[in-house]
């Protein structure tokens, strides 16, 4: 094989998305094209400098990466008895050049299938080809977010149109009401896991319907229902058209729950009795629920649901009442909406939340579905989310980790490996932290110059740097630190102990409250007390996220408890020596040991009676922990200029968090607790349900 052949093989598989050595090769081919395409290897390869492809040192580097690539693909599975699993999700966060993800759910799904690939699991993933993605974020001069939707051309990305045995593109059919809707599929190889993306944007469908698979979480309830029919019913039909069968079907959030109804239809069509068919479906489906707010679960009015499911209902051979019963808590209530989470709960053998607190919240939400059981026996366990460390560890951190930890990627789930942190000198550890902060500050100061949202950025590589980057949903309370403006000004005005804060994130285009929060942050960046010290980085994506989680000293998280399902961004900072500063929500109560970061606010799982009271209490607690703990720990230095208290927390974070909160551990638990049919339910103690 020539070097070009090898590069083409590497570019065709998203393995490169978590291997910086591979990405560095493509960047060398054409740095400008690589950056302009959001680090897309194909864009660089197609415009490569031909002379470089014959350069002997470059050829040698290609050979080394290609050898690692083929060794990865051919490695034996780490779990030899895992069941064949089909994984369904509405969105996947795989890489910044493939923007069909909105936030945590998609990033979690991307990390999940990458870890499944690392483990060699027999997994196939299914989603939608959202060619206009979520959106590109731009701004009006007053800081009001506007959304742009540039369309992706599949020819520019490592995806191939799926063909049938006859050599023609494979086409499957679902019905939206009485209207047939035709779907083809694109295949992405994510390491050893194939990901199939359903696409209805082609000429077999009427023009108005082609947009159904174009955008993520856009449109009214009808469009949302139609997308979920496409994903669930269409996804199973695609797998059957590919002659693929599975022992386990993993439904990641309620968007996918129609998978269970399509499996039921298959069994009934084969002549199985309904009770036996339902039992088979339950035996083969597992369900993950994330949403900690009752209003956030997808519900559809009986009229809309029956209209869109009309043809499918006839295929099932069920009455309207019988079909609606699968998504109702009370099947006899003719006014109750059809709820996708209820469908998932009723037709799955196992259900889990994504953190211990999240499972408590979910059991409380759905206790009325199991009225004869005590709260702690509601059958919703938990597997706490973890992150795919190879994806989120920046390239310029890896030499330090390799030098001091050895093969940290191979042993990343082994606590003994992380204990080697203690053998690193204080000076070397602090140099590592300062190098990563400097890289971030240089990146942000330059990036802000080219934004549509004009700002000054005078960030200093010597100053305590706080990061807040996530979806701008209002419950995440992005402006909390500035609710008491006088107190905030005092924090930012100290010349001897300065701080700086970087924001990033998108609000859903229909969420005016979230957009107002962004506008409020922008106004803060223009305030004389904060100008140049508080910066909003626009068009948040996975590349910006990697820079922020690697370079920030403190990762701030202040949602209203208990509305954070899990949250994973704070898990990504620890390997870089960053420290989490969070309320007791999501994964943090499981990760916090008193020394590996900071927590503030009440240790409570329930909602406050009054959210205003909660906001005031949390804001005051945040000011106290910043003023009396975080800032002094950073700036109190010994005779060698080293912050010893800070370094102690850094060691604790690096030693305790990556080994536990990584995606390999998470996926292993899914195999052991969820995917294997004989697995016992996740244990939920009475104390955990309090």
> Which region holds residue 13: left if phi is over 0, alpha if psi is between -120 and 50, else beta?
beta
Q: Name the burial class of residue 198, with classes exposed (0-12), middle (13-18) and buried (19+) by CB atoms within 10 angstroms of its CB.
A: buried
pLDDT recorded at residue 688 = 32
User: In the chain, what is the greatest distance between 2 CA atoms, to the nearest angstrom?
Assistant: 80
Q: Where are the alpha helices (DSSP H) in 270-425?
A: 274-284, 302-308, 310-316, 320-325, 340-346, 356-365, 389-392, 398-405, 415-418
The pTM for the full model equals 0.96
d(CA 674, CA 87): 12
Helix axes 56-74, 20-29, angle to 10 degrees: 140
User: Could you tell me how many helices (H) and strands (E) the chain has, helices first?
Assistant: 28, 20
Top CATH class of 85-382 equals alpha beta
Supply the Cα-derived Rg of the chain in whole angstroms: 25
CB atoms within 10 A of CB 289: 27
Supply the DSSP symbol for 423. Answer: G
Find out whether the peptide bond into 562 is cis, omega within 30 degrees of 0. Answer: yes
CA dist., res. 533 & res. 627, Å (int): 17
pLDDT at 572: 97
Instruction: State residue 677's pLDDT score.
Output: 84
| SS3 of residue 349 by DSSP | coil
Q: Which of 92, 120, 88 is nearest to 104 (CA)?
A: 92
| pLDDT number for residue 611 | 85
* pLDDT given at position 687: 30
642-658 pLDDT, tens digit each: 999 999 999 999 999 99
At residue 301, φ and ψ (nearest 5 deg) are -60, 150
Upper half-sphere CA count for residue 593 (Cβ side, 13 Å)? 13
Question: Is the domain defined by 392-660 classed in CATH 3.10.105.10?
Answer: no
Our measurement of the distance from residue 40's CA atom to the centroid of its chain's CA atoms, rounded to an integer in Å, reads 20
pLDDT in tens, 122-165: 999 999 999 998 899 999 999 999 999 999 999 999 999 999 99
Q: How far apart are CA 552 and CA 531, in angstroms?
A: 19
Taking 70 as the pLDDT cut, the residues of the chain under it are 604-607, 678-690
How many angstroms separate the CA atoms of 3 and 15, rounded? 18
**Which three-class secondary structure state does DSSP give residue 556?**
strand
* Residue found by looking up tokens 């949302």 in the block: 224
- CATH 3.40.50.2000 domain range(s) in the chain: 85-382, 392-660
Closest CA to 635 of 625, 643, 627: 643
SS (HEC) of 73-111: HHCCCCCCCCCCEEEECCCCCCCCCCCCCCCHHHHHHHH
β-bridge mates for residue 535, sequence order: 502
């Amino acid at each position: 094989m020539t070097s070009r052949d090898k590069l083409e093989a590497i570019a065709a598989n998203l393995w490169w998305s978590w291997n910086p050595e591979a990405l560095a090769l493509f960047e060398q081919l054409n740095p400008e094209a690589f950056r302009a395409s959001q680090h897309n290897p194909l864009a660089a390869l197609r415009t490569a400098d031909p002379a470089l492809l014959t350069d002997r040192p470059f050829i040698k580097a290609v050979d080394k990466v290609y050898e690692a690539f083929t060794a990865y693909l051919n490695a034996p599975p780490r779990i030899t008895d895992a069941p064949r699993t089909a994984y369904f999700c509405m969105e996947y966060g795989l890489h910044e050049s493939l923007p069909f993800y909105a936030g945590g759910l998609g990033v979690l799904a991307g990390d999940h299938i990458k870890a499944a690939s690392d483990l060699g699991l027999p997994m196939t993933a299914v989603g939608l080809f959202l060619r206009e993605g979520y959106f590109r974020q731009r701004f009006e001069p007053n800081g009001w977010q506007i959304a742009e939707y540039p369309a992706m051309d599949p020819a520019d990305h490592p995806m191939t149109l799926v063909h049938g045995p006859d050599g023609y593109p494979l086409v499957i059919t679902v019905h939206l009401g009485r209207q047939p809707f035709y779907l083809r599929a694109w295949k992405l190889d994510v390491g050893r896991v194939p990901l199939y993306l359903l696409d209805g944007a082609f000429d077999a469908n009427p023009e108005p319907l082609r947009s159904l698979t174009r955008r993520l979480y856009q449109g009214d309830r009808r469009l949302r229902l139609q997308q979920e029919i496409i994903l669930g019913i269409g996804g199973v039909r695609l797998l059957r058209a590919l002659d693929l069968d599975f022992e386990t079907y993993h439904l990641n959030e309620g968007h996918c729950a129609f998978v269970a109804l399509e499996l039921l239809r298959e069994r009934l069509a084969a002549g199985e009795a309904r009770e036996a068919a339902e039992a088979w479906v339950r035996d083969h489906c597992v369900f993950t629920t994330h949403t900690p707010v009752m209003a956030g679960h997808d519900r559809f009015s009986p009229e809309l649901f029956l209209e869109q499911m009309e043809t499918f209902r006839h295929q099932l051979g069920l009455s309207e009442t019988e079909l609606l019963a699968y998504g109702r808590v009370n099947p006899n209530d003719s006014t109750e909406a059809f709820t996708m989470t209820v469908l998932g709960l009723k037709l799955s053998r196992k259900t889990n939340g994504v953190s211990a607190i999240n499972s408590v919240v979910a059991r409380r939400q759905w206790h009325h579905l199991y009225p004869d059981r005590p709260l702690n026996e509601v059958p919703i366990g938990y597997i706490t989310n973890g992150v795919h460390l190879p994806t989120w560890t920046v390239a310029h951190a890896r030499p330090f980790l390799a030098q001091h930890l050895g093969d940290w990627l191979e042993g990343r789930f082994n606590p003994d490996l992380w204990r080697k942190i203690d053998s690193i000198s204080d000076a070397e550890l602090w140099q590592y932290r300062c190098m990563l902060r400097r890289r971030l500050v240089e990146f942000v100061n330059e990036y802000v110059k080219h934004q549509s949202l004009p700002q000054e950025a005078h960030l200093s590589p010597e100053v305590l740097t706080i990061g807040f980057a996530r979806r701008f949903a209002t419950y995440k309370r992005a402006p909390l630190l500035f609710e008491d403006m006088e107190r905030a000004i005092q924090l930012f005005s100290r010349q001897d102990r300065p701080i700086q804060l970087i924001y990033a994130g998108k609000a859903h285009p229909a969420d005016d409250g979230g957009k107002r929060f962004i506008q409020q942050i922008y106004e803060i960046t223009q305030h004389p007390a904060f100008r140049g010290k508080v910066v909003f980085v626009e068009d948040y994506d996975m590349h910006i996220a990697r820079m922020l989680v690697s370079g920030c000293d403190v990762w701030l998280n202040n949602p209203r408890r208990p509305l954070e399902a899990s949250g994973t961004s704070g898990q990504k900072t620890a390997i870089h020596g960053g420290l989490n500063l969070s309320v007791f929500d999501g994964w943090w109560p499981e990760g916090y040991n008193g020394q590996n970061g900071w927590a503030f606010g009440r240790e409570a799982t329930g909602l406050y009676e009054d959210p205003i009271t909660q906001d005031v209490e949390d804001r005051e607690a945040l000011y106290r922990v910043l003023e009396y703990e975080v800032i002094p720990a950073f700036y109190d230095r010994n005779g060698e200029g080293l912050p010893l208290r800070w370094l102690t927390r850094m060691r604790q974070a690096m030693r305790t968090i990556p080994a536990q909160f990584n995606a390999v551990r998470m996926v292993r638990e899914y195999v052991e607790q969820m995917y294997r049919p004989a697995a016992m339910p996740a244990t939920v103690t009475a104390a955990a349900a309090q």
